[in-house]
Amino acid sequence: MTIILGIESTAHTFGIGIVKNGKVLSNVRDMYSTLSGGIIPLEAAKHHCENSERIYFESLEKSGIKEKDIDAIAFSQGPGLAPCLLEGVKFAKQIAEKLNKPVVPVNHCIAHLEIGKITGAKNPVMLYASGANTQIIAYESGKYRIFGETLDIGVGNFIDNFAREMGIGFPGGPKIQELAGQSKNYIELPYIVKGMDISLSGILTNLKQKFESKKYSKEDLAYSMQETVFAMLIETAERALAHTGKKELLLGGGVSCNSRFQEMCKKMCSEREAKFFVPSRDLLVDNGAMIAFLGEIMFKKKIKIDKKDFNNLDIKPRQRTDEVNVSWK
């Protein structure tokens, strides 16, 4: 029996999840949000610092687990915003020292993918569409490789930026989805796919100009943005499926909560007879359970850092998915 506590703190969300033998027992999180304007890293870090104790005890209570039964503390080592990651590692160390347990450093992006296994996916191509990250990842020859990605900004940040332009606070994704649902009027936008990569900054500029011209409604712009950008993402994912010969598509990241996006992915999969997997919302967005889940897999392969080596504990704000040594597989 293994019980792992996982801490997520890469960006706006501070979350703690507890996993026992691959089963999620609790997954508590709190998100720093703003009414207008984007995320301020130091403010988000302050939010994490102020909420960590409360979330820790709430998560413990929900799981029904006693502190002493935890085997290890997993934490998001990167990629992410340095001030936020520092709060996470600080808290992980504090708890690990108190309980006299090791810590397990986890890559955030791979955790998004691994938690998808809970839905039954075995060897998927993952379309990872979140705030800062937009990548197509799959396991091949001993590594999680990035087959395609955004050449500039992440799709979530792109949507949030567009929302901010229209006077909507952070996060903009859910509100944009609501607006998009009220239109069926497609306005032509640039469509930028280069092989398995996409580019979004030109579309953002185009959308901003269209909005400022006052010739288009918010609803029409939101609808057209979703149809265009989601089609771009799905085109690259389909290419990755063809390239790798894999037969499963898995979604990850906060943008994957979008129901129109899910519907379009499902359609593509059924057309090419691939299986489609999407975790529940609380496991799609940034969360501690996915960190605990991958932490458990790694811990079972003896990947851990013991107390005597805590001085070497570091964060990796720019860690890339394909840099990670996947020695647990």
Across the chain, which distance is largest between two alpha carbons, in Å? Answer: 64
Specify the residue for token string 């499902």: 266
Residue numbers 269-328 binding ligand ATP by CB under 6 A: 285-286
Least distance in angstroms from the C-beta of 133 to ligand ATP? 4
Helix axes 259-271, 218-244, angle to 10 degrees: 40
Specify the residue for token string 């040594």: 325
How do strand 23-31 and strand 13-20 relate by DSSP bridges?
antiparallel
Write the CB contacts of 166 (distance below 8 Å, at least 6 apart in sequence): 211, 218, 221
- Helix residue spans in the chain (DSSP H): 41-63, 82-99, 108-114, 155-165, 173-180, 201-212, 218-244, 259-271, 281-284, 288-300
Q: Is 203 helix (H, G, I), strand (E, B) or coil?
A: helix
Measured from the CB atom, the residue of 17 and 80 that comes closer to ligand ATP is 80
Selected range binding Fe ion among 159-167, 225-233, 263-271, 283-291, rule: CB under 5 A? 283-291
Measured from the CB atom, the residue of 70 and 118 that comes closer to ligand ATP is 118
- If contact means CB under 5 to 8 A according to the sort of partner, which of ligand ATP, Fe ion, none does residue 278 touch? none
Choose which of 286, 290, 291, 297 interacts with Fe ion (CB under 5 A).
286
- B/e letters for 86-110, b = 16+ CB within 10 Å, e = fewer, are bbbbbbbbebbeebebbbbbbbbbb
Kindly compute the dihedral angle of the four CA atoms of residues 236, 245, 281, 260, in this order, to the nearest 10 degrees. 40
Residue numbers 173-202 binding ligand ATP by CB under 6 A: 173-174, 177
Task: Decide if 18 contacts 292 (C-beta within 8 A).
Answer: yes
Task: Decide if 294 contacts 115 (C-beta within 8 A).
Answer: yes
Least distance in angstroms from the C-beta of 328 to ligand ATP? 21
* By CB under 5 A, residue 130 contacts Fe ion: yes
Residue numbers 82-121 binding Fe ion by CB under 5 A: none
Least distance in angstroms from the C-beta of 108 to ligand ATP? 6
* By CB under 5 A, residue 160 contacts Fe ion: no
Site pattern 71..100 for ligand ATP (x: CB under 6 A): ---------x--------------------
Measured from the CB atom, the residue of 3 and 168 that comes closer to ligand ATP is 168
Measured from the CB atom, the residue of 290 and 305 that comes closer to Fe ion is 290
Selected range binding ligand ATP among 14-22, 66-74, 129-137, 295-303, rule: CB under 6 A? 129-137
Choose which of 132, 146, 168, 204 interacts with ligand ATP (CB under 6 A).
132
Give the integer Cα–Cα distance in Å for 31 and 239. Answer: 34
- If contact means CB under 5 to 8 A according to the sort of partner, which of ligand ATP, Fe ion, none does residue 160 touch? ligand ATP
Measured from the CB atom, the residue of 87 and 160 that comes closer to ligand ATP is 160
Of 126, 106, 116, 103, nearest to 326 by C-alpha is 106
Q: What residues line the site for ligand ATP (CB under 6 A)?
A: 10-13, 80, 130-133, 154, 156, 159-160, 171-174, 177, 253-255, 257-258, 285-286
Q: What residues line the site for Fe ion (CB under 5 A)?
A: 130, 286
